[in-house]
Amino acid sequence: MENIELLTLVRNKAKGWLTDSYDAETRSQVQTLLDKEDPAELIEAFYKDLEFGTGGLRGIMGVGSNRMNVYTVGAATQGFSNYLRREFADLEQIKVVVGHDCRNNSRKFAEISADIFSANGIRVYMYDDLRPTPEMSYTIRRLGCQGGIILTASHNPKEYNGYKAYWDDGAQMIAPHDKNTIAEVNKIRSASDIRFNGNNQLIEIIGEEIDRQYIKALTGISLSGEAIMRHHDMKIVYTPIHGTGVRLVPDTLRAFGFTNIIHVPEQDVVSGNFPTVVSPNPEEPAALALAVKKAIETDAELVLATDPDGDRVGAAIKNDKDEWILLNGNQTALIFVYYLITRWKELGRIQGREYIVKTIVTTELIRDIAERNGVGIYDVYTGFKWIADVMRKNENKLQYIGGGEESYGFLCEDFVRDKDAVSACAILAEISAWAKDQGLTVFQLLQKIYVTYGFSKEEGISVVKKGKSGAEEIEAMMKNYRDNPLTEIAGSKVVFIYDYAKLKGYSCLDREVITLDMPTTSNVLQYIMEDRTKISIRPSGTEPKIKFYCEVHSKINNTGEVPEAEKAASEKIGQIKHSLGIS
């Protein structure tokens, strides 16, 4: 009965897309879905509307309310326009920035969005071509805009696209603005409610001048200019993986003072088909394979990579056996925090007002570094908008040093309010030059951090569950973990359980209940073991996955103990997977 009701609902919804408000091609594609004997594809396309998650609006491109297309993008932009006009009704002119990445249809969706904003009387600054997400954030603040959007699906496979919405502080929207915008979007019941006919007089094309201002601002965060001068010709291989970093990252590296930047020509090609990779994700070794190959050929010292919208950074370095290895997101965040705090101290900038931000699933070694050096530390939910929220609340009160998350995002500056791989690439190169000044490689620097603050190994496991049935399965898994809490995992006793959906923490030792100080609830469950092992479980906000984050700690006395600690941690994580039923 339930399936019959769902199919009836979906069919009626799809038939609404057969009116003259929709273009002929869309009507034809919808009719084809309706005519198919197997309704699975029709259900997937229409069983729900795309919603804002941790990364905004994101989905597979195609027809339907659950797909990225002209009409779902149009509805989002119309709803956002309505909300901006309501919230900033006292302004003579509301202004927004519109950006896009390299993906198929991104420019088309950006131009349609610009038309809709302008049709609603909103002034639009639209880039002349693709640009990194962090530059869009910078531009909102630089031009005094009330909001902005960028069309991107970040590092997702090529069939995806997305729509990230930003508020006047240059950060992705959080409550109440995200929910209020969705409420406005949900009021739009048909394409006839969307104002597609733009006003060209309200659309201004921007580009190179903003690029120059952004890069100049980034050079101001450099902390080791003399080290760069001494090692300016170190060989750095960089790949944009077909995306937006192709121009700005090399230009920024040169602006910092680096003179020997080696390109990967095949991946400098801007393409939404990502022809050299299966997935344009700098977390995956395959995405960096060509860059590492180039590094071997040229005897380079550092490999840098950015995802298609230029907000996530990947890096490869040589280990003590002269082998190329990839740093994971926790390791890069750890290196950033160690370097920034160390240099701020050396330069006399630590005055007792400074702070670092990390997400609750990112390595706890960051906390150890901050606290031992008298720097404040904030824990926030996954999603860089929560780091930006802390920055907004502390503006003109405390001094931001940096913030990051395990998913390869870091922000070294406070004039951008989203993760920034452009600045991250420049600072990673600077860290490499600074380490060379001390006779260290980046690999040796990481080992030094482990000896000083303790060893940790982190591993993320994603279990993919696609479609409506997958979403239901993920929900059932989360319910089971809550209803049947584990008391022991991989031989270690659980001492705390934090349930962020209830904002409650539970001590397994004395049954004490703790209130978690967070701005809102989130569907995250976290276990803390007696040996400092941390396990976090949450459904992804942007992909059909349930994610598990494992973090194992140990103390080491010297770098020679790292291999054994690494081996023991890997074995422990294997046992954790078995305990959680995901091995």
Q: pLDDT tens digits, residue range 71-86?
A: 999 999 999 999 999 9
Q: Which residue bears the tokens 């509301």?
A: 94
Q: What is the mean pLDDT of residues 355-383?
A: 97
**pLDDT for residue 199 is more than 80:** yes
pLDDT score of 395:
96
Q: What is the mean pLDDT of residues 143-160?
A: 95
Residue 154 a catalytic site member: yes
146: its two tokens: 């009330």
pLDDT score of 56:
66
**pLDDT for residue 270 is more than 80:** yes
- CATH classification code of 216-453: 3.40.120.10
**pLDDT for residue 1 is more than 50:** no
Q: pLDDT tens digits, residue range 465-475?
A: 887 788 888 99
**pLDDT for residue 583 is more than 70:** no
How many percent of the chain have pLDDT more than 90? Answer: 89
Angle at 444 between CA 443 and CA 449, to 5 degrees: 100
Q: Do domains 48-206 and 455-580 have the same CATH topology?
A: no
176 cis-preceded (ω within 30 degrees of 0): yes
- Determine which one of 137, 154, 407, 423 is catalytic: 154
pLDDT score of 471:
86
pLDDT score of 544:
81
Q: pLDDT tens digits, residue range 531-567?
A: 999 999 999 866 788 999 999 999 999 999 999 999 9
Q: What is the mean pLDDT of residues 381-406?
A: 96
Q: What is the mean pLDDT of residues 32-41?
A: 94
459 vs 456: CA distance, rounded Å: 10
pLDDT score of 183:
87
Q: pLDDT tens digits, residue range 277-309?
A: 999 999 999 999 999 999 999 999 999 999 999
- CATH classification code of 48-206: 3.40.120.10
**pLDDT for residue 53 is more than 60:** no
Count of H-run helices and E-run strands, the chain: 19, 23
Give the chain's mean pLDDT.
95
DSSP letters, 487-521, are SEETTEEEEEEEETTTTEEEETTT--EEE---SS-
pLDDT score of 2:
58
| Cβ 291 vs Cβ 264: under 8 Å | yes
Q: pLDDT tens digits, residue range 307-340?
A: 999 999 999 999 999 999 999 999 999 999 999 9
336 vs 403: CA distance, rounded Å: 9
Work out whether strand 261-263 and strand 236-239 pair parallel, antiparallel, or are unpaired: parallel
**Would you list the domain boundaries of the chain?**
48-206, 216-453, 455-580
Residue 260, classed as helix, strand or coil, is: coil
Q: pLDDT tens digits, residue range 84-118?
A: 999 999 999 999 999 999 999 999 999 999 999 99
Compute the Cα dihedral for 355, 361, 362, 367 and give only its sign: positive
Q: Which long-range contacts (CB under 8 A, 24 or more apart) does 30-38 make?
A: 30/63, 30/64, 33/63, 33/64
Compute the Cα dihedral for 343, 347, 350, 354 and give only its sign: negative
Q: pLDDT tens digits, residue range 333-365?
A: 999 999 999 999 999 999 999 999 999 999 999
**pLDDT for residue 54 is more than 70:** no
Q: pLDDT tens digits, residue range 500-526?
A: 999 999 999 888 999 999 999 999 999
Q: Which residue bears the tokens 């995250």?
A: 524
**pLDDT for residue 433 is more than 90:** yes
44 vs 467: CA distance, rounded Å: 7
Largest CA distance in the chain: 73
Between residues 486 and 446, which one has the greater pLDDT?
A: 446
CATH top class, domain 455-580: alpha beta
pTM of the model: 0.94
